[in-house]
Amino acid sequence: MKMQKIILFVLFASFVSKADISDATRNDKAVVHYDFEDAFTNDSADPGYMNVEIPDKANAKYGAALRLKWYATDRSKITWARDVNNDGYLWLKGSTIVRSMSMATKIHTECTKATSTGLTIEAVVENNETVEERTGQYPADNNVTRNLQPSRIVSMSRDFTNRGTNFNVNFALGQVYEMGDRFMGAVTTAASNNLFTQPVMSSNTAALIQGLGRPATSYKQKIVFTVNKGSGFATLYLTDRNGNLYPAVNTQQGFNGGTMANYFSRWNSQTYLNVGNDYIPSTGILSQPESFKNIAPGSTEADNPNRYWKGKLYRLAIYCESLSEKEILGSAYQIVKNEVFPIVNVARTANLIKASEIFERLTGTKTPIYNPLLKQMEERLNAFDPVGAAALVTDHPMFYNITVRNFANKMSNRDETIAAPLNDFTATIIGAVRDNIPAKELLYGNFFYQGDPSKAAVPSDDVDDILRSNNHYASLDLASYDLKAVLMKRKQIILKASTSNGNTSTNNNNINNIQFEPVDNSWAAGLLTTRQWAAAHMIAGTNRRAVEFALREFTCTPIENAADSSGPEDVIGRDIDRNPGGSRAKFTTSCRACHTILDGFKGAFAFMTFSGDFLKHSALVPNSTQNNANEDNSIVMRIHPDAPGVTRKMNHNEDAYINGKILRDDNWVNNANSGTNKTNFGWTRMSGKGTADFGKALAESKAFPRCMAQRVFFTICKREAESKDDAFIKKVAEEFSSAERNYNLKYLFQKIVANESCLGGK
């Protein structure tokens, strides 16, 4: 029979959890191994079958390959496909079967040897079943509490059950749907009388907590079932939704078979390996795939009982050894070992429940009450150290990837939404929190964070992917990189046009034909000079928005709350009418009140604008005094003829009030220091030059630590701080800004989350 080989190449590791049996162990010890990445197809006509064979990739030392074959005529019930990661899988959709083409002799031979230490079944599945008790199945349901049967993922048998003294099923791994999804493993030993009378089974509670098998949270799961001949213990490992492999159950019941030599002595030697169902008719001939029919309980017929399993199978390997925990957890053993969920009853103390809530607040995720980390947190809470308990969580990746990201994202965009894409502003805050950089430096420091190219395979060109687009951060986001692990700190950079001649007048440079080079940003001011901040607040307009949102995001003061109608008028630009609608009073009470603050500060951003998708500084790109220069389609920066270097938009619409102020440099003055503003802001700087000085004024104000405390409170307490929280916010802000804490944002999260007013708020 002529065979044609079909080979599909993919990266298999994409679906494997961080804990995994190593390839070396699998290649050396698996007696059969299927990964569903390639198959053979039969060229000749064979109307009864689908003509597809699945190769066995096990080590040749265990004997001839044991190929699997699809025994089904209904192609709608079985598919060989690939997921979005291009991982191959066998998709079982109904009553069908995949069975070894010959008896599974090599499995029987290896496992019944005196030198065999036991049995291990490894499977990677994705279950999409939606019904708990399915119609058209034998039995009518698979409630094991009524001594019925689970749906079969894999089995080694010659009949669908052990009948009396005839032992026809050597082992099976299955799944049940009764009050939650449960996995079951069972093996016939010298001491077991019936395969599924005493199975190893994951509990309903554990399954529901982990979300196993539910279509709404469908994900790839690893199942490892191992039986040890020496101890008689059997363990069922499962992965949770985060990919952590843990022992769901460990039991000796039903598996004590005496000496190792006779442990599997009741195994039948004339058995086949079956995937997705049991199908061994009494005639021993697989020729009628349509005979998947239901039979009455107690019938002597040996037709298939139709215990079909529905789902996707990505890997199947069977070992005639009881693999150790270290072998099962692989390279992650030392890490995951400390995270393994204990199989003991946990006393739900008040402090353990409090620890669980602190964990959820800080990570944005839930964890089972039996997570050992919660026990460590409970011990610190018992010792009256709530900050220490929280500190155990602020090293968790999800603290950075979810909670700190939400905290930062809200400040990064004009809509103040946490749903904003990852960007340099947000990444810089995440990195600063991780590295314990004083929060003050976020407003004037010469640094930003990006993904380390050696740790994150994403576009990382300084010009194209970081300074002229958000490609780098969008790719980090799309690939779901662990930001805590991959972010690195750098000095800030900015684009310089290769044809720039300082104040050279030009208007014909097409932005796509000009070479740019990244250079050190001598005007760096932390978050205030990131690309994201510029894109949100320095595009078009007059750069007043950069001032308005700086006050809003970093001192929690909307401009209307800072407005001061008694402030000086001489700082207000020429674009503001002093007699709007013929009313001088309207200007005094409305326009003047806000603009005396905004226009006093706006000189901090005098030399910068955002156009053509990048931040421009007048010292680094050609300047043009032409009023109609299109900054988005060229590298030029429009400046006013009477104010060299100052972006023209700062002085535009001069006809509104010709005697208004012309901004000629980047000096600024603080006019938000009178009346209630003096108390509310608590400034230390009344004037300055450039963006970094402005950032220092914000960072050194009393309002800054109070604002950070309010923002952290909102992020983790899920509500705005109210008047009843004022005393706590004030106290924690003072501690945050003290010399001892030195504006440590990580500590601020730890301090606030453990407060009762936070834990009690929803």
101-142 confidence digits (pLDDT tens):
889 999 999 999 989 999 999 999 987 654 444 433 434 444
8 Å CB contact between 620 and 660: no
On whether both 751 and 693 belong to a single domain, the answer is no
pLDDT at 84: 76
Q: Has residue 172 got a pLDDT over 60?
A: yes
Q: In whole angstroms, what is the distance from residue 181 CA to residue 111 CA?
A: 30
Q: How confident is the model at residue 259 (pLDDT cuts 50, 70, 90)?
A: confident
Q: How confident is the model at residue 203 (pLDDT cuts 50, 70, 90)?
A: low
Q: In whole angstroms, what is the distance from residue 322 CA to residue 736 CA?
A: 53
8 Å CB contact between 328 and 234: no
**What phi and psi values does residue 84 have, to the nearest 5 degrees?**
-65, -20
Cα 743 to chain centroid distance, Å, stands at 28
Helix (H) or strand (E) segment spanning residue 227:
strand 221-228
pLDDT average, residue stretch 184-205: 68
pLDDT at 75: 66
pLDDT average, residue stretch 468-478: 92
**What phi and psi values does residue 98 have, to the nearest 5 degrees?**
-120, 125
428: in domain? no
Which has the higher per-residue pLDDT, 15 or 703? 703
429: in domain? no
22-81 confidence digits (pLDDT tens):
889 999 999 999 998 865 554 444 444 456 788 899 999 999 999 988 766 566 778 788
Determine the residue type at 537. H
615: in domain? yes
pLDDT at 2: 35
Place of tokens 């799944």: 175
On whether both 64 and 140 belong to a single domain, the answer is yes
Strands 448-451 and 151-157 come out as: unpaired
Half-sphere exposure of 271 (CA within 13 A, CB side): 27
Tokens representing 589? 């009470």
Q: In whole angstroms, what is the distance from residue 453 CA to residue 459 CA?
A: 8
Q: In whole angstroms, what is the distance from residue 365 CA to residue 145 CA?
A: 33
List CB contacts of 264: < 8 A, sequence separation 6 or more.
Answer: 111, 112, 116, 119, 170, 187, 188, 189, 190, 257
8 Å CB contact between 664 and 646: yes
On whether both 185 and 326 belong to a single domain, the answer is yes
**What phi and psi values does residue 353 have, to the nearest 5 degrees?**
-65, -40
Q: In whole angstroms, what is the distance from residue 186 CA to residue 184 CA?
A: 7
Which has the higher per-residue pLDDT, 742 or 252? 742
Q: Has residue 328 got a pLDDT over 60?
A: yes
Place of tokens 């039969």: 42
515-545 confidence digits (pLDDT tens):
788 999 999 999 999 999 999 999 988 999 9
Q: What ranges make up the beta strands (E) of 301-459?
A: 311-319, 448-451
Nearest Cα neighbor of 500 from 610, 605, 637, 632 is 637
Which of 701, 726, 744 is where one domain is finished? 701
**What phi and psi values does residue 654 have, to the nearest 5 degrees?**
-65, -15
pLDDT at 283: 47
Q: In whole angstroms, what is the distance from residue 266 CA to residue 264 CA?
A: 5
Q: In whole angstroms, what is the distance from residue 612 CA to residue 116 CA?
A: 69
Which of 672, 701, 730 is where one domain is finished? 701
8 Å CB contact between 116 and 141: no
406-460 confidence digits (pLDDT tens):
999 999 999 999 999 999 999 999 999 999 999 999 999 999 999 998 888 888 8
273: in domain? yes
SS3 358: helix
Q: Has residue 702 got a pLDDT over 90?
A: yes
Q: In whole angstroms, what is the distance from residue 66 CA to residue 56 CA?
A: 6
607-657 confidence digits (pLDDT tens):
999 998 999 999 999 898 887 777 887 788 999 888 999 999 999 888 888
On whether both 687 and 725 belong to a single domain, the answer is no
6: in domain? no
Determine the residue type at 678. K
Helix (H) or strand (E) segment spanning residue 172:
strand 169-177
On whether both 250 and 312 belong to a single domain, the answer is yes
Domain with 719 in it: 705-759
Q: How confident is the model at residue 149 (pLDDT cuts 50, 70, 90)?
A: low
533: in domain? no
350-359 confidence digits (pLDDT tens):
999 999 999 9
Q: Could you count the other beta carbons within 10 Å of the beta carbon of residue 410?
A: 19
Q: What is the DSSP string of 691-752?
A: HHHHHHHHHHSSHHHHHHHHHHHHHHHSS---GGGHHHHHHHHHHHTSTTTTT-HHHHHHHH
On whether both 608 and 716 belong to a single domain, the answer is no
Q: Please provide the distance, in angstroms rounded to a whole number, between the alpha carbons at the two ends of the chain.
A: 68
- The residues pairing with 315 across neighbouring beta strands, listed in sequence order, are 124
pLDDT at 300: 41
Which of 656, 674, 701 is where one domain is finished? 701
How many domains, in total, are found in the chain?
Answer: 4
List CB contacts of 607: < 8 A, sequence separation 6 or more.
Answer: 523, 617, 618, 619, 645, 646, 647, 666
On whether both 263 and 387 belong to a single domain, the answer is no
Helix (H) or strand (E) segment spanning residue 601:
helix 592-601
Q: In whole angstroms, what is the distance from residue 516 CA to residue 519 CA?
A: 9
Cα 548 to chain centroid distance, Å, stands at 33
At 60, which CATH number?
2.60.120.200
List CB contacts of 157: < 8 A, sequence separation 6 or more.
Answer: 168, 169, 170, 172, 268, 271, 272, 274, 278, 280
On whether both 363 and 332 belong to a single domain, the answer is no
List CB contacts of 225: < 8 A, sequence separation 6 or more.
Answer: 120, 121, 173, 185, 200, 234, 235, 236, 237
Strands 448-451 and 78-82 come out as: unpaired
Q: How confident is the model at residue 8 (pLDDT cuts 50, 70, 90)?
A: very low
Strands 637-640 and 623-624 come out as: parallel
pLDDT at 552: 97
On whether both 163 and 306 belong to a single domain, the answer is yes
This prediction's pTM: 0.59
Q: What is the mean pLDDT of the chain?
A: 81
On whether both 193 and 264 belong to a single domain, the answer is yes
Q: In whole angstroms, what is the distance from residue 524 CA to residue 527 CA?
A: 9
Nearest Cα neighbor of 153 from 36, 275, 319 is 275
8 Å CB contact between 257 and 232: yes
On whether both 646 and 717 belong to a single domain, the answer is no
247: in domain? yes
Which has the higher per-residue pLDDT, 182 or 538? 538
8 Å CB contact between 603 and 485: no
Our CA angle for 724, 726, 729, nearest 5°, is 125
Residues found in the chain: 762
On whether both 632 and 730 belong to a single domain, the answer is no
605: in domain? yes
Place of tokens 């990677």: 124
